[in-house]
Structure 1
């Protein structure tokens, strides 16, 4: 495996396209839909999208969730007509017990800059960031900083940002703020979540 330092870089300061990736599961857990939506970060308009519907090929194992979602997400990425400049995953990167969450997997496998934006943390301790949009605090696991707790809306619960591949943490947080002008979660995540849920709604349950 390449040294961790080689996986972390400054990343694109002004990406032309940013992709959001998310996965939704049917209630019985037998089907999943993996979606990728590509946005113009200046206007937040969707410029490309793809979805892959199938069955999980890896059972649920805590800490190894990436292996359950990667096949579908990689298939959806292959269906795009646009190669995004940045991947924004609904999950984690370095802020993972093995320091290698979904955003790391996707970044290394595709070679694209990638970051993770989680709704809740997998590990670590932090001080509550200030109440204003843009306030943040380090997310630490022991003495190591593995991410940042970032407030994207005034007075709203923060999100948990971590580096996945070829991005600095400072740049990752700047990109997340640019993608959250109105809501807590990045618009990339919101659009991908909607797409995968809509795709699942059209799938008939097994008899």
Structure 2
């Protein structure tokens, strides 16, 4: 019986090789505008039982959190959702919706992982490298790694997420009554800066405000 995974087996191996090559272009140092003038949240969902990829972006003023623009882009899915290779499926729609905004943000919050990925190249990293936009990945579950220190229940508490000896991100308690977020730099943001930037814009909610607003318009990806 045929299935999507065997059909894509050879392509998946080639994509993993490309992924490893692109991961070498990631910059984990602060190269975003300071002070920040604008921020944006990017989330990807699916329609038509997964046949269409939908990307939503919400652009906001970094000081007032006023919404400056919001856009939605749709593309036919070019490949199935393969483990660890989500970014290749989602990136085209994300780049489309970025181009639709009135201007690029100084900093992007992308729903998903950055360096907290088995190949250290999740969707936030791929988006950042492809677009040049400084980015942070914000996810609600881990793909790899573990926290070796207990996480305090207070708002703003964070602890390193490690894979072996390497720190790959953070577990961040953005609200005291919620499970922690998995926060990791994508591109042009230092590891140390990522949790502080998420907390700056998580104004009483679990997610940073632009990502929360984007999430209200994008269905969950299967």
Q: TM-score, normalised by structure 2?
A: 0.83
Instruction: Tell whether 2:199 aligns with 1:180.
Output: no
Contact 2:44 2:56 in 1 (8 A): yes
Deviation at 1:29, TM superposition (A): 1.5
Unpaired runs of at least 5, structure 2: 1-20
Distance 1:11 1:172 in 2: 12
Is 2:95 the counterpart of 1:95? Answer: no
The corresponding residue for 1:10 is 30
CA RMSD of aligned residues (A): 1.8
Q: CA deviation at 1:154?
A: 1.8
- Kept in 2, the 8 Å contact 1:152–1:159? The answer is yes
8 A Cα contact 2:114 2:186, kept in partner: yes
- TM-superposed CA distance for 1:173, in Å, is 1.1
The number of equivalent residue pairs is: 197
Q: Give the SS at the match of 1:62.
A: coil
Tell me the residue number matched to 1:205.
none
Corresponding residue number in structure 1 for 2:10: none
Compare 10-19 and 174-183 and name the one that shifted more. 10-19
Distance change (3 Å), C-alpha of 1:3 and 1:33: closer
Runs of 5+ consecutive residues of structure 1 not aligned to the other structure? 198-207
Instruction: Give, in whole Å, the separation in 2 of the partners of 1:52 and 1:6.
Output: 25
Relative to the length of structure 1, the TM-score reads 0.89
> What's the CA shift for 1:128?
3.2
Does residue 145 (structure 1) correspond to residue 148 (structure 2)? The answer is: no
